Structure 1
Amino acid sequence: MPPSPVSGLLPVFPWDKLEPYKAAAAAHADGIVDLSVGTPVDPVPDVVRQALADAANSPGYPTVWGTAELRDAITGWCERRLGAVGMTHRNVLPVVGSKELVAWLPTQLGIGPGERVAYPRLAYPTYEVGARLARAEPVPTDEPTELDPEGLRLVWLNSPSNPTGKVLDAGELTRTVAWAREHGVLLVSDECYLELGWETDPVSVLHPDVCGGSYEGVVAVHSLSKRSNLAGYRAAFAVGDASVLGELLQIRKHGGMMVPAPVQAATVAGLGDDAHVAQQRERYGARRAALRAALEASGFRIEHSEASLYLWATRDEPCWDTVGELSKLGVLVAPGDFYGTAGERFVRVAFTATDERVSEAVRRLTA
């Protein structure tokens, strides 16, 4: 008998549902303005491209744990940017893009049937996908500390949030870390947008004010996709509890889950240079301000959105109605129900398009 298809465990891939609206937007006389996916469009920083080129002659296999230089770069960045203390190489695990880790973490942790994985009620869909791939029960929640901890193996936090841009403050994080430790539940915080705070300065679960200077039971996930325009490089890492990451390292060695050597070198360069991050923040900040003003002028209300690369917008109507109306203007956005039923009257508007396309969207919204 052939094996049962694993795809049957998973929800319909949401972006496929957007294709007719993408086609409608693309038919606009002045072209599509795609504000849906949120993929970077600006150049890869020169310092990163040079490091990649310099490491191009890498004929041997890279290691799953990465080079010592990469681990040094990660621990140094965590101390400088996140305020982490006492971090060693044992607290570091390079990964092949953060989505890969999110999707496969429950499986690699040995979570399975009869066990539960919790994640935010409004969330990036891959948290649910990861639970389903492991055949565990997915549990969307607004407040993990109110869950029954029985059978709960993993709690995902996402701050700043995708899609809403909401940021959890230090008090909320501290309370959740303490609860997870009390009940023996692993807490993993997806912090890939942490360097993109606009109205607040997001805090990491690795900050000593949150975790008490100990990484027990706590892991954070970070990526260079957004901060450094490296989505095409698949450069990311997990940091935190050494016992958890050590176990993952052993499993991933067997699976050959290696970041390519040139990408490791590029990551070192990217983490060591703050100038390009500041420059990219300026680009995004200007686009955000322009789009927010245009959306509000055309009848939208913006909620949360204090960080990340998105505006969480509503006209108090079904999200697909909003998507359809905007597609007639040649503007494509993501429907909020992609991220859970709680988003069914919102749309997510990315400000990752070029300056020219953002200006065109503003013109159409305010015409």
Structure 2
Amino acid sequence: MSAVSSRLPVFPWDRLEPYKATAAAHADGIVDLSVGTPVDPVPELIQKALIEAADSPGYPTVWGTVALRNALTGWVGERLGATGVTHANVLPVVGSKELVAWLPTQLGLGPGDTVAHPRLAYPTYEVGARLCGANAVAYDDPTTLDPAGLKLLWLNSPSNPTGRVLAKDELVRIVAWAREHGVLVFSDECYLELGWEADPVSVLHPEVCGGGYEGVVAVHSLSKRSNLAGYRAAFIAGDERVLGELLQIRKHGGMMAPAPVQAATVAALGDDAHVAEQRARYAARRAALRGALEGHGFRIEHSEASLYLWATRDEPCWETVAHLAGLGILVAPGDFYGPAGDRFVRVAFTATDERVEAAVKRLGG
């Protein structure tokens, strides 16, 4: 038996452990701005929905309850501006990382096929290609790629790690090119509700896709907007032929969101107040950290959206990681996201107000 893990890179976060130990030795404790995991409480109305659905002895369905599908179609229409969305255009998934990692396999891709992702990107796009034996290629502009053999094109706006937002005109151009060449587009939009200096647009917006969803699918998550990373609540929306195929495969694979999580997702998508409250928290933390980093000699690039600041001191990223670890602050080295990030660090503002304040003080703010 061949080890599938041999196809995969070294898990990047393991390389950060020595720096984590250094930061943890600080007299006032570590300020962990590396992973970007939510730290604020799950909103009470979502907890209540989960608890009320706790008595769920039967198997849930892969497609989700009618109430969940109604919530998904309603949100996609209201928040993304998508039109004519039906239940056939939505599908819940067990966290967006699971979807990203296993999508190429579920699409039947393999050796000889190509999966494309941004030059600076979430590492799991490449992992998904490697798991099925497909080729992974990085791009700056996807329309310059050779479409021969290109089966799956990942977009990511707002970007992880840079926070860059693709303008609507750029999305229109890319979607038109992909359709012309028969390339399936999956757009990772998990940070779409966290725009700060830009208003991110979905590929499902009619001004981007023309009101039809052929060859286009959007990926969304409740991990960041609703603090539900621990719930693994996410979904995809778009081309009904693609989603219908994935639904059949996932039925056989048992990839179904737990019934209480489905109920919690309905509650989360039906409430805007908690999203606005969480945005306000992140906005304050972002402003404080950005000012402190710039005062400490950093330059911030992009970062107009998402939960990260893309920062550089114009030195190798691991030198920056070591410098900040000495101050008790842990950040992610930019080369986790590709060689093009080797002089940047990604600074998350998913830390408590108290820890953010501690980081600001250590940076001299």
Mapped partners of 1:252, 1:186: distance in 2: 19
Pair 1:357 & 2:355 matched: yes
Pair 1:154 & 2:124 matched: no
- Aligned partner of 1:178 in structure 2 is 176
Deviations 1:18-77 (A, max 9, x none): 000000000000000000000000000011000000000000000000001000000100
Residue in structure 2 matching 1:53, options 45, 51, 54: 51
How far apart are residue 156 of structure 1 and its match?
Answer: 0.0
- Aligned partner of 1:241 in structure 2 is 239
- Aligned partner of 1:117 in structure 2 is 115
How far apart are residue 257 of structure 1 and its match?
Answer: 0.2
**4+ residue segments displaced more than 6 Å:** none
Deviations 1:170-226 (A, max 9, x none): 000000000000000000000000000000110000000000000000000000000
Q: How does 1:223-302 map to 2 (within 5 A)?
A: 223-302=221-300
One-letter identity of the residue aligned with 1:252: R
Mapped partners of 2:165, 2:127: distance in 1: 23
Q: How does 1:113-152 map to 2 (within 5 A)?
A: 113-152=111-150
One-letter identity of the residue aligned with 2:25: A
User: Alignment partner of 2:187: what SS?
Assistant: strand
Mapped partners of 2:325, 2:147: distance in 1: 44
User: Alignment partner of 2:115: what SS?
Assistant: strand
Mapped partners of 1:55, 1:194: distance in 2: 28
Pair 1:84 & 2:85 matched: no
How far apart are residue 96 of structure 1 and its match?
Answer: 0.1
User: Alignment partner of 1:214: what SS?
Assistant: coil
Residue in structure 1 matching 2:338, options 337, 340, 357: 340
How many residues align? The count is 365
- Aligned partner of 1:329 in structure 2 is 327
Mapped partners of 1:55, 1:167: distance in 2: 37
Mapped partners of 1:13, 1:78: distance in 2: 34
User: Alignment partner of 2:54: what SS?
Assistant: coil
One-letter identity of the residue aligned with 2:361: R
- Aligned partner of 1:14 in structure 2 is 12
One-letter identity of the residue aligned with 1:112: G
How far apart are residue 308 of structure 1 and its match?
Answer: 0.1
How far apart are residue 239 of structure 1 and its match?
Answer: 0.3
One-letter identity of the residue aligned with 2:108: G
Mapped partners of 2:337, 2:258: distance in 1: 31
How far apart are residue 164 of structure 1 and its match?
Answer: 0.1
Mapped partners of 1:203, 1:88: distance in 2: 20
How far apart are residue 128 of structure 1 and its match?
Answer: 0.2
- Aligned partner of 1:203 in structure 2 is 201
How far apart are residue 87 of structure 1 and its match?
Answer: 0.1
One-letter identity of the residue aligned with 1:345: R
Mapped partners of 2:46, 2:168: distance in 1: 32
How far apart are residue 159 of structure 1 and its match?
Answer: 0.1
- Normalised to the residue count of structure 1, the TM-score between the two structures is 0.99
User: Alignment partner of 1:294: what SS?
Assistant: helix
Mapped partners of 1:354, 1:205: distance in 2: 33
Give the fraction of aligned pairs with identical amino acids, expressed as a percent.
79
Mapped partners of 1:291, 1:229: distance in 2: 20
Mapped partners of 1:181, 1:244: distance in 2: 14
Deviations 1:289-335 (A, max 9, x none): 00000000000000000000000000000000000010000000000
- Normalised to the residue count of structure 2, the TM-score between the two structures is 1.00
Mapped partners of 1:240, 1:10: distance in 2: 29
Mapped partners of 1:135, 1:121: distance in 2: 20
How far apart are residue 90 of structure 1 and its match?
Answer: 0.2
Mapped partners of 2:125, 2:91: distance in 1: 19
User: Alignment partner of 1:232: what SS?
Assistant: helix
One-letter identity of the residue aligned with 2:104: P
One-letter identity of the residue aligned with 2:127: V
Mapped partners of 1:132, 1:91: distance in 2: 28
How far apart are residue 343 of structure 1 and its match?
Answer: 0.1
